[in-house]
Amino acid sequence: MFNSRLVVDPSDGTSKSFSVPVVQELAYQNLHSLPERYIRSEKERPNNSIPYQSDIPIIDMDMFLRDSDLCRQKELEKLGAACQQWGFFQVVNHGIPLSLLERMKGIFREFIQLPLEEKLKYKVQESEGYGQMFVASDDQTLDWADVLYLATLPPENRKMNFWPTKPRDFRETLDRYAVEIQKLDNTVLSLLSENLGLKPDCFINIFGKMSLSTRMNYYPPCPRPDLVLGLSPHSDATGLTVLLQDDETVGLHICKDGEWIPVQPIPGALVINIGDMLEVISNGIFNSIEHRAVTNMDSDRISIAMFCAPSGETEVGPAPELIDELHPCKYRKFIRQEYMQHYFSSRLDGKGSLEFAKIKS
């Protein structure tokens, strides 16, 4: 049941291997007490009593197809405000068939239910595959989740040895879903450019040849959800993230004004958030917000995050049109691949990764 993870230390180039259990196996063992390695410090524990106040904005994609300029303009302003104030929103009427969303969740659920030996054929290596990501040391507190991470688009990025062959339609469904999500990413990127008064293709051009990757998260039930986290607080290193999640079970929390707010799932909707790359490209106008996932006692939960980002060799920096005397450049330019190396080699650490690119004033 152990899954080893090789980590290269960027400071000296040495590699270390850390063994971590498959959480699903632990969860179904009738645990008497929770293993020490999952227990969070007092201040990291989820406070499950947060009063439910307000929810992240809901954007109706239909409004952008209407003839009425007024409807469109209002929705565009709402979208821009959502990305500035929340960094997160949900989209409805996105045009992706519900049957495809359901099957996407279905293929991952069926994969999760396969015998362990079958799943371990896809064991994580160099940040791709099945297991746990971001295990950077032997004494680090672990997340209560198992993950399947796959480079997805363009097709030449795929490492097919990590793509499950069971269930039989796994590969084909993921492929179809990725094409739909890429279209949605392009639409949102052009709307966001427009919202800032830029040419609609401004952000898409900075992204260059866009790459998509998929992170499927499985959060087994946990006997002590008050002591653990399903996913440590982090911001996404990529440009835009589209999250498909279970309809029934709340798990995603976002950090707004220092408070953790649970996101209520809307059946058929998708959650979209701004990642670090888009914060940089927008010169800090749009916010890449810290978020985390919590677990619960009675039910498991799955979520499928699809990350879209500029390709690895792209030089990323703020759009020149957004910089002037009143709006000084806040981030230095860097190659996206360097950022990913920096991100993957550190343990998920809130928004710490973006310090890499911040220009200190």
- For position 279 contacting Ni ion by CB under 5 A, the verdict is no
Nearer to ligand OGA, 233 or 310 (CB): 233
Q: Residue 128 has what DSSP assignment? A: B
- Name the binder of 142 from Ni ion, ligand OGA, none, CB < 5-8 A by kind: none
- Name the binder of 253 from Ni ion, ligand OGA, none, CB < 5-8 A by kind: none
CA distance 74 to 271: 20
Residue 160 identity (one-letter amino acid)? M
- For position 215 contacting ligand OGA by CB under 6 A, the verdict is yes
User: Looking at the DSSP assignment, which residues form a beta bridge with residue 253?
Assistant: 262, 292
What is the DSSP track for 75-119? HHHHHHHHHHHTSEEEEES----HHHHHHHHHHHHHHHTS-HHHH
Neighbours of 206 (CB within 10 A): 23
Binding residue for ligand OGA, selected from 3, 193, 217, 288, defined by CB under 6 A: 217
Binding residue for ligand OGA, selected from 231, 261, 322, 357, defined by CB under 6 A: 231
CA distance 17 to 261: 35
CA distance 282 to 286: 6
**Beta pairing, strands 252-256 & 291-293:** antiparallel
- For position 236 contacting ligand OGA by CB under 6 A, the verdict is yes
CA distance 8 to 52: 41
- For position 236 contacting Ni ion by CB under 5 A, the verdict is yes
What SS3 class is residue 146? strand
Q: How far is the CB of 245 from ligand OGA (least distance, A)?
A: 6
Nearer to ligand OGA, 194 or 236 (CB): 236
- Name the binder of 252 from Ni ion, ligand OGA, none, CB < 5-8 A by kind: ligand OGA
Q: How many residues bind Ni ion (CB under 5 A)?
A: 1
Interface with ligand OGA (CB under 6 A): 215, 217, 231, 236, 243, 245, 251-252, 291, 293, 303, 305
Interface with Ni ion (CB under 5 A): 236
